[in-house]
Amino acid sequence: MLGRKGFSLIEAMTALIILALVSSTVLVVINRCMTSAANLAIRMQAFEVARENMETLLSKDSVEEMAEFGSSDKYPEIRWQNSVEMFYEPITARMWVRAICSAEYTDTEGQVQTVELTHWLTDLTKMQLIQMIKEKQEEKKGLAEQDEDEQDRIDEQKDTNEPEDVNRQEELGGQMEQMEGQGQAKEREEVDEEDEMLSDYELEAMSFDELISYLNELSNQ
């Protein structure tokens, strides 16, 4: 009866090496699958946050230009940002209002990722553009009046302060002259700004593209 022939040392070592390579490959694949699953889970959470914010915006009866941001109460590691803005669409040559809701998160590799949802709300009519221009003009006028009131308050404080000596009086006199010159220059600027503000008739006579251009100028000032 012949005895069984066993494995040689070389065959055993080769089998172990092959087993180690296969095992390491399987572990790498499993690790990548787990990483992808973790990234997918947090991405779905970010999408949920952005979708809920968009649904909240769309449920409102009216919206206005705004930008807000914060962190999710449900998922504190996710940061969100909502904005409502106007933009010019060159193909149709019209102004549109769109809502943008985004959510940021950090993936397993430490990289910041963003999920963004955009919804075109409505296009703007000519009358709506004119109304927005009027609001911008009133806002600009209000800021100019605030600056004027602040300047008047500073002038009153200067008038109530008595100089301690002649040198101080001369110094204050020079400052007052300089401020008066600045005040006159500012008054001229305010007059120019008032002249630049267009009347209702002038706005209605402008074309749609001209209104868009004028609104952009007011926004950039």
Lowest mean per-residue pLDDT among 52-66, 88-102, 155-169, 180-194? 180-194
Both 116 and 144 in a single domain?
Answer: no
Residue 151 domain boundaries:
127-220
Quote the Cα angle for 112-118-60, to 5°: 120
Domain count for the chain = 2
CA nearest 99: which of 136, 134, 62?
62
pLDDT 10s digits, 157-178: 766 655 445 455 555 555 556 6
Both 142 and 173 in a single domain?
Answer: yes
Whether 154 is covered by a domain: the verdict is yes
> DSSP string spanning 65-123?
SEEEEEE-SSSTT-EEEEEEEEEEETTTTEEEEEEEEEEEEE-TTS-EEEEEEEEEEEE
pLDDT 10s digits, 174-211: 555 665 555 555 554 444 444 467 776 677 767 666 77
Both 145 and 163 in a single domain?
Answer: yes
pLDDT at 194: 46
CA distance 154 to 70: 39
Both 158 and 118 in a single domain?
Answer: no
Whether 1 is covered by a domain: the verdict is no
Both 140 and 186 in a single domain?
Answer: yes
Whether 8 is covered by a domain: the verdict is no
First-to-last C-alpha distance (Å) of the chain:
105
Question: Greatest CA separation found in the chain?
Answer: 132
